[in-house]
Amino acid sequence: MTEQATKRTDRDDFRETSDPALDERADRGEAPLLGPRELYLLWERQHWATQDLDFTQDRIDWHERIGEEERFQRMYGLSSFFIGEQRVQSELAPLMRAVPDEDMRIFLSTQIADEARHVAFFDRFYTEVGVLESTSLQARLEETSAHVNPEFTVLFDEMLKGKADRLAVAPDDLECACEFVTIYHMIVEGMLALTGQHFIIDYNEQQGTLPAFVEGFTNVARDEHRHVAFGAWFLRHMARRDDRYREAIQRTLTEVAPVADGVLKPKWMGDAGDDAPTLFGVSVDETRAFAMQALSRRLKVIGLLAT
């Protein structure tokens, strides 16, 4: 990890989320987790506003300091996040109804608001910086979708949406709620989003580019750590309650892992080996190793992986 990244995730407000990935005690399965009520109170203390960000320098960087080929390569990450935030924002409501407790429901209401703010953040970045030609949010999402890869579409529009559709008609299906949280909080947010955020923020900091984007995306990452901390708490709670739920989590991890792995590799890499360094200075193997360490720490704390 670079010095800047360590400084970021060592910040008190990041550590305060209790995401096991940020706590080395999790390697021994010992990290404490906050419950939904404490995470709700933390949410009240961690607000931020997309309208406070000034993208003037980002606009100059994007058009004058970043070359055409690099802009194209950056579009994979940007598009995956913009569309991914929109998908998680629109698919979370069925879980809010399905969870078996009011404190969980209140936390999940805050998460829906967070995901809406993340969509608004990306939309504002795209608009203020002038990334695309389209003139509405819907059209910008469609225009940017050309950059994502097929595994991304399978993960979000088939696997995640399939579980949300099932929960919407069967809110008492707690096994499905566990499957949904495994895909949403452990894989999409924990393994993929936080990994992408880590490397994208790092790269911009090293290059001295897109300062307002870095500031906003750091806030997004802090929110995501809070969401993933809820997911870890929920899955530990359910796995302890019944072996059926424990098995549902394990089964889902096995089913989704190959598709999630495919999302880590942009289309533009073509046949380049997974150990080949990309323009951003890291290889697919390095991003995979980062994602797997975070996932295994969380699984140890949930009690699904031996320490």
Q: How is residue 188 written in tokens?
A: 């999409």
Q: Which of 8, 117, 118, 163 binds Fe ion (CB under 5 A)?
A: 118
Using a 10 angstrom Cβ sphere, with 0-12 exposed, 13-18 middle and 19 or more buried, the burial of residue 64 is exposed
Is 75 or 88 the residue whose CB approaches Fe ion more closely? 88
Using the contact rule CB under 5 A, the part of the chain among 42-50, 142-150, 218-226, 239-247 near Fe ion is 218-226
Other beta carbons within 10 Å of 130: 12
225 is a site residue for Fe ion (CB under 5 A): no
187 secondary structure, DSSP code: I
Q: How is residue 77 written in tokens?
A: 């990450």
Least CB distance to Fe ion at residue 118 (A): 4
Using the contact rule CB under 5 A, the part of the chain among 32-40, 78-86, 97-105, 234-242 near Fe ion is 78-86
Least CB distance to Fe ion at residue 218 (A): 13
Is 19 or 115 the residue whose CB approaches Fe ion more closely? 115
Least CB distance to Fe ion at residue 111 (A): 6
Least CB distance to Fe ion at residue 121 (A): 9
Residues contacting 220, CB < 8 A, separation 6+: 118, 121, 197
Using the contact rule CB under 5 A, the part of the chain among 4-12, 118-126, 145-153, 287-295 near Fe ion is 118-126
Least CB distance to Fe ion at residue 144 (A): 16
Least CB distance to Fe ion at residue 242 (A): 26
117 is a site residue for Fe ion (CB under 5 A): no
CA distance 285 to 116: 32
- Which of 203, 205, 249, 197 minimizes the C-alpha distance to 223? 197
Instruction: Output the CA torsion 195→196→201→203 (10° steps).
Output: 100
Is 62 or 82 the residue whose CB approaches Fe ion more closely? 82
CA distance 69 to 66: 8
Using the contact rule CB under 5 A, the part of the chain among 72-80, 163-171, 225-233, 266-274 near Fe ion is 225-233
CA distance 74 to 126: 13
Kindly write out the interface string for residues 175-214 of this chain, putting x where it contacts Fe ion by CB under 5 A and - elsewhere. Answer: --------------x-------------------------
Interacting positions 86-115 with Fe ion (CB under 5 A): 115
- Which of 110, 258, 104 minimizes the C-alpha distance to 174? 104
Is 104 or 278 the residue whose CB approaches Fe ion more closely? 104
Other beta carbons within 10 Å of 172: 10
227 is a site residue for Fe ion (CB under 5 A): yes
- Please state the φ and ψ torsions of residue 275, each to the nearest 5 degrees: -95, 0
How long, in residues, is the chain? 307
CA distance 292 to 290: 6
CA distance 103 to 49: 25
Kindly write out the interface string for residues 1-40 of this chain, putting x where it contacts Fe ion by CB under 5 A and - elsewhere. Answer: ----------------------------------------
Is 55 or 184 the residue whose CB approaches Fe ion more closely? 184
Binding site for Fe ion (CB under 5 A): 85, 115, 118, 189, 224, 227
